[in-house]
Structure 1
Amino acid sequence: MGEILDPGTSDGSQELSTYDSHWMESYGGCDGVVIDGVCNTERRTAENGYAPLNMEPKENYFYLDLPFDDLNNPQAFATRAKVIPWADQPGYAGKATDKSFSYMKNRWVRLKKGDRICYGQVQDAGPNVYDDAAYVFGEDDPRPANTRFNVAGLDVSPALNGCLKFSQLNGSQDRVDWQFVEAKNVPEGPWKEIVTTSPVQHR
């Protein structure tokens, strides 16, 4: 989200999210720098907490996607209350058939690359595969079902890219370990400067 990844592919437009059909508007604009009318990724640094340099975000700029679209993918929607570990928790229980509710949106994730640990919130689904329950929720560390983008299992925002010190700004070579965490267990850090709480928005 926040940039144009590959307009030539069916899931290449990063201006919208599976949870928000007007994500860029909700977020506050291009999460990068606009050059010749095109939103491009920009490198982020710790100097300003990895925040955008050219806009004021309305939502958390530490965001990511995971390959389980529990709203718009029929298989994921049908099984979400069975495979998502927190489906029976307060605030989630009884929502299995509610097409205006997502179990995934805004959930916190801990990401680790080497000695770098950062946190972000789920704000989209992908890349490329949208019902990979085994990878997202499974045990024994299964590999992603996706075979594109160097078998990527997730996408991260420019802020997370900078925080984790990825070797490439728009690459697919970096690897991370990740896990879901409860909001109460997320430590203080730049990822809490703005916390996204907005619900699903399809308008």
Structure 2
Amino acid sequence: MKRSSLIPLLASLLLLAAVATPEVILAQAVQANGLPGRRVVSSLGIHPGSLSDGDSLRPLTSPAAGLLIPGAFPLSPPRDSLPKVFAPTQPRQVYTRFPWKRNIVTTVFWVGELPTANNPTPNTKSAWDRRWTSNYGGYDNPKPTSRVGFLPKDFTPGQNPFYFALPYNDISRTGTKASARAVIPWFEKTFYRSGRTVLKGRWIAIRRGDLTCYAQWEDVGPFETDDWEYVFGDKRPKTKGNRGAGLDVSPAVRDFLEFPGGYATVDWRFVDIDEVPDGPWRQHGANNPFSNVSLTENGTGGTSANIVKVRELRDRLLVSQARPDETETGRPTGETASSPRLAR
């Protein structure tokens, strides 16, 4: 900057200094030292009665000169403050598209269970697998002394030992039930052929107290086979047998949830596969997508189109080789796929 251009600037600064009154300059000095407002109000032309106890002076204004300089109006001192913390008084409700079924009487069943007076229907085959015992690997002995951890002592199961049964079957002798399309939430996404179940292998969470277990749907019962109002609706189980039981679970589920005997009361709900956490229910079984990733495209639940086609060809081959007196489900013609297990 040229020296000649500094002269007007210096002149302006001198003029500003001359306009500022001694009272304003005094107020600036006092304000800088942090003195209370009542000590300097007389120098600023402010009546003391206009200030309350503890008031100080607001910076950047002055009634005496009308300039934006410190020391003019009252300013309340800052008050002590604490950060606000949100503390809910009730537990947060977590959204899920599958609500809990609460206080359901639950009984125990197992692969290979033979007929008894209270259970005339054997569990050597299921509603959807006529070779259930063979595919599982043997008799899923429920006796605690015949088990190690959550597995039978004599063999490692070929299928997931965490399994259950609910009282609804989506297929009958004539094919897929009409009710299935209307009531099963995942029907449209998973259906690909009439007579092929879309229920087998689905997961549920089962809760007893502080313990939550996960298992796959592998059979139909107890007692009923068409109780969709309970399974997919908001009704209580239809059956009156076994204290109104609405769920059958495997010995592994029983042991994980620490049943006190042959039955207990639990809560349960359907879950999507990505909701299933790590646990013993993910470790075993050719029917388990966590231990057999060939069941899915990426191990998380998307069924491969090629796998679907192979399964369909296999099913057709089995039907063509079935005896004339057997239906597609492997049951004698006198026994339908919806025949209930009469007891547990």
Report matched runs for 1:93-108 at 5 Å. 93-95=191-193, 98-99=194-195, 101-108=196-203
Deviation track 1:70-120 (CA, whole Å, cap 9, x = no partner) reads 12377982210110011122xx1454xx11x11110000100001110000
Give the number of aligned pairs. 184
Which of the numbers 281, 294, 308 marks the counterpart of 1:191?
281
Verify: 1:129 aligned to 2:224, yes or no.
Answer: yes
Normalising by structure 1, we get a TM-score of 0.81
Contact kept in structure 1, 2:112 and 2:138, CA below 8 Å: no
User: Which ranges in structure 2 are unaligned for 5 or more consecutive residues?
Assistant: 1-109, 289-294, 296-310, 319-328, 331-344
User: Which ranges in structure 1 are unaligned for 5 or more consecutive residues?
Assistant: 33-40
Shift of 1:11: 5.3
Shift of 1:126: 0.3
Determine the structure 1 residue equivalent to 2:240: 147
Shift of 1:193: 0.5
Measured at CA, do residues 80 and 118 of structure 1 come closer, stay the same or move farther in structure 2, by a change above 3 Å? same
Structure with the higher fraction of residues in helix conformation: 2
Which of the numbers 108, 119, 134 marks the counterpart of 1:25?
134
What is the CA–CA distance in structure 1 between the aligned matches of 2:236 and 2:176, rounded to whole Å? 18
Shift of 1:43: 2.4
- RMSD, aligned α-carbons: 2.7
Contact kept in structure 2, 1:61 and 1:191, CA below 8 Å: yes
Letter paired with 1:117: T
Verify: 1:51 aligned to 2:151, yes or no.
Answer: yes
What is the CA–CA distance in structure 1 between the aligned matches of 2:184 and 2:239, rounded to whole Å? 19
Contact kept in structure 1, 2:191 and 2:198, CA below 8 Å: no
Which of the numbers 70, 77, 83 marks the counterpart of 2:183?
83
Which of the numbers 118, 123, 130 marks the counterpart of 2:213?
118
What is the CA–CA distance in structure 2 between the aligned matches of 1:44 and 1:159, rounded to whole Å? 13
Shift of 1:150: 1.3
Contact kept in structure 1, 2:205 and 2:270, CA below 8 Å: yes
What is the CA–CA distance in structure 2 between the aligned matches of 1:180 and 1:192, rounded to whole Å? 16
Contact kept in structure 1, 2:112 and 2:125, CA below 8 Å: no
Which of the numbers 259, 278, 291 marks the counterpart of 1:166?
259
Deviation track 1:4-51 (CA, whole Å, cap 9, x = no partner) reads 26434675311110010110001000011xxxxxxxx22289x95412
Letter paired with 1:126: G
Shift of 1:184: 1.4
What is the CA–CA distance in structure 2 between the aligned matches of 1:148 and 1:75, rounded to whole Å? 28
Instruction: State the secondary structure of the residue aligned to 1:176.
Output: strand
What is the CA–CA distance in structure 1 between the aligned matches of 2:282 and 2:145, rounded to whole Å? 16
Regions of 4+ moved over 4 Å = 73-76, 197-203
Measured at CA, do residues 44 and 179 of structure 1 come closer, stay the same or move farther in structure 2, by a change above 3 Å? farther
